Amino acid sequence: MKRSATFALSLAIALSIGTYAWGGAKKGVQGMGTDDLIKTAQGGAPAHISMNAAIMVPDGTGGFKTLKEGTNGFTCIPDISGQEMPDPFCGDGQATEWIMSAVKKDPRPANSTPGIGYMAKGGFHWEKDGAVVMPDTMGAKRVKEPPHWMILWPGNAGISAFQTMPGKFGAYVMYEGTPFAHIMIYQDPSKMMPAGPSLMK
């Protein structure tokens, strides 16, 4: 299996184990009612974005269902990694296509232009041997991420001069060398003004 297909499959498996299965011991948003799911999802981005965003959750069949219709082209999901604390994600239409591609095990993201995604509550990634790896990698260490936003478009560390691991500069390329590579920016979305990256298209 090619590396890109392997990556997409691994990412989809990781998401299924976390948010999209919602089985076993309660983690993340398990057991939440509709109102709490919506409130949690809206915590993923600045209020001027999330209050008018669509809210979606897994439907139990590998797809998603809408809990709340949106009016601004953004979609928020209440939990991504299924850890003990929810890590909500909000993204524009292109970022949402990126996430859906991972869930569907596509070999590469479907978005045709850069997507902007927010995780105002932070999130998690896994590291092994000095690299960010998939959650199902044997022996990988879980690392908590601070609040951040993302440019969901293939990043290249060599061209951008970004690192491939979190560092003092607050930005890096995650999953370098795969179709799902993207740029992470450790900046708290909740402190951004409405004229910031939320308006990028």
Sequential pLDDT tens for the chain (201 residues) = 444 444 443 444 344 434 443 333 457 788 899 999 999 999 999 999 999 999 999 887 777 899 999 999 999 999 988 888 999 999 999 999 998 887 777 889 999 999 999 999 999 988 888 888 877 789 999 999 999 999 998 766 555 556 766 766 778 888 877 888 889 999 999 888 775 454 443
Q: For the chain, what is the radius of gyration of the CA atoms? A: 16
User: What's the pLDDT score for residue 23?
Assistant: 37
Token couple for 80: 């991504």
Cα separation, 132 vs 143, in Å, equals 10
CA dihedral 128, 131, 135, 141 (to 10 degrees): 40
Nearest Cα residue to 198 out of 121, 90, 126: 90
> Quick one: tokens of 5?
């297909």
Residue 195, token pair as written in the block: 């004229």
Q: What is the pLDDT at residue 31? A: 87
Does the global pTM surpass 0.95? no
- The CA distance from 54 to 182, in Å, is 23
Burial class (CB in 10 A: 0-12, 13-18, 19+), 97: buried
Domain of 107, in residue numbers: 3-199
Total domains in the fold of the chain? 1
Question: What is the per-residue pLDDT for 100?
Answer: 84
Distance, CA of 79 to CA of 86 (rounded, Å): 5
